[in-house]
């Protein structure tokens, strides 16, 4: 049986979110050292891998053995502390032929991995909700929703039988004009009805957060409205969300239980802001084998209080602040 997530009385529940590790065979020695430094300093209760865990360049995974050897390396800092972890897939994880379905089997074979393949009837692999229980009962006090945000709109066309030459990204586009995919409508609908079911069983609405690899379009709105959205942090590249809005944000507003949405994918963005009462935040990137800025390399630390879990904190953690200059140099 997998480990259950539970609050500890009078102690915040800590989640560390890191994305875009872009590792695999030949991964930099600095990556596990950086993860070790974060685990030692913050001792989180849960670690989330926000996609593109495997790389797309010379450092990547091709075989099941490649993936197992790589996961052994990057999860050792959590394993030796008995810290549970979970993941979602990014657009590069399966670039070299090892399917998400096969990778999911390997991920789930790790005792501390809490990720689940998710309902077969909805899009993607690895869609799930992780409940965090009260310290003194089996009432759910918080929920962590993870989603597969797929790859690009070519895959979306193929999946739904749309013409190959259909132009989705128009000349006068809505966002930053990228051809990436996102969390599909059926995944948003699954969240909506699963959230209703959990509320009914729990006897009250359950506050929660979402994370996925590719940002939803509302991240772009936040980036363009710094004052209104009280937006802070760095935006060093375009918001690479897709042009199709699949409705996840609207579902969150109607349910009223999601307080924050986190994304990776854009390695050198770490800004955060609030739109319609929901916090949007990037977690930078933690790669030493892909493009990055030394001063942004890191992840996001989320702290939830058991008795005030509608108001939680979320701060960037920078590797250079923990390890100094040695945290920036690839070995």
Query: Tens digit of pLDDT for each residue in 275-318?
Result: 999 999 999 999 999 999 999 999 999 999 999 888 889 999 99
**Which residues are CB-neighbours of 192 under 8 A, at least 6 positions away?**
251, 254, 255
Token duo for residue 257: 């239980």
Average pLDDT over the chain reads 95
- Assigned domain for 166 exists: yes
Q: Which residue has the tokens 């009385």?
A: 9
Q: Which residue has the tokens 């918001």?
A: 239
Reduced to 3 states (helix: H, G, I; strand: E, B; else coil), residue 282 is strand
- 174 has a pLDDT exceeding 90: no
**Which residues are CB-neighbours of 255 under 8 A, at least 6 positions away?**
191, 192, 195, 196
Q: DSSP character for 146?
A: E
CA atoms within 13 Å, Cβ hemisphere of 198: 26
Query: Tens digit of pLDDT for each residue in 41-98?
Result: 999 999 999 999 999 989 999 999 999 999 999 999 999 999 999 999 999 999 999 9
pLDDT at 175: 86
- Assigned domain for 3 exists: no
Number of structural domains in the chain: 1
- Assigned domain for 294 exists: yes
Token duo for residue 227: 């004052």
The most distant pair of C-alpha atoms in the chain lies apart, rounded to whole Å, by 57
Residue closest to 57 by CA, chosen among 32, 20, 87: 20
pLDDT at 330: 61
Alpha carbons 149 and 118: distance in angstroms, whole number: 13
Specify the CATH number for the domain of residue 199. 3.60.21.10
- Assigned domain for 4 exists: no
- Assigned domain for 101 exists: yes
- 132 has a pLDDT exceeding 60: yes
Q: Please report, rounded to a whole number, the percentage of residues in the chain having pLDDT higher than 70.
A: 99
- Assigned domain for 8 exists: no
pLDDT at 1: 81
Residue closest to 10 by CA, chosen among 305, 302, 301, 312: 305
- Assigned domain for 97 exists: yes
- Assigned domain for 192 exists: yes
Query: Tens digit of pLDDT for each residue in 79-93?
Result: 999 999 999 999 999
Q: For residue 185, what are the domain limits?
A: 13-327
């Amino acid at each position: 049986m997998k480990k259950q997530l539970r609050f500890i009385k009078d102690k915040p529940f800590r989640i560390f979110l890191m994305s875009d590790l872009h590792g695999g065979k030949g991964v930099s020695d600095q990556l596990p050292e950086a993860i070790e430094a974060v685990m030692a300093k913050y001792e989180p209760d849960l670690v989330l891998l926000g996609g593109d865990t495997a790389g797309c360049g010379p450092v990547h995974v091709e075989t099941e053995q490649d993936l197992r050897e790589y996961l052994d390396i990057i999860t050792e800092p959590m394993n030796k502390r008995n810290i549970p972890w979970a993941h979602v897939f990014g657009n590069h994880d399966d670039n070299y032929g090892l399917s998400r379905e096969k990778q999911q089997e390997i991920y789930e074979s790790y005792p501390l991995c809490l990720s689940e393949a998710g309902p077969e009837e909805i899009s993607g692999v690895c869609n799930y909700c992780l409940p965090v229980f009260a310290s003194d009962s089996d009432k759910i006090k918080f929920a962590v929703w993870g989603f597969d945000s797929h790859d690009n709109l070519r895959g979306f066309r193929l999946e739904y039988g749309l013409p190959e030459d259909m132009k989705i990204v128009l000349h006068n586009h809505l966002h930053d004009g990228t051809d990436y995919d996102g969390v599909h409508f059926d995944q948003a609908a699954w969240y909506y009805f699963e959230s209703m079911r959990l509320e009914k069983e729990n006897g009250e609405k359950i506050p929660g957060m979402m994370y996925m690899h590719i940002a939803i379009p509302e991240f772009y709105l936040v980036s363009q409205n710094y004052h209104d959205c009280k937006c802070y942090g760095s935006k060093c590249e375009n918001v690479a969300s897709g042009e199709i809005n699949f409705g996840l944000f609207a579902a969150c507003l109607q349910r009223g239980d999601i307080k924050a949405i986190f994304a990776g994918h854009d390695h050198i963005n770490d800004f955060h802001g609030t739109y319609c009462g929901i916090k949007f935040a990037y977690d930078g990137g933690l790669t030493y084998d892909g493009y990055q800025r030394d001063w942004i390399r890191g992840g996001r630390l989320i702290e939830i209080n058991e008795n005030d879990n509608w108001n939680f904190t979320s701060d960037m953690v920078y590797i250079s602040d923990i390890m100094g200059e040695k945290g920036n140099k690839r070995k």
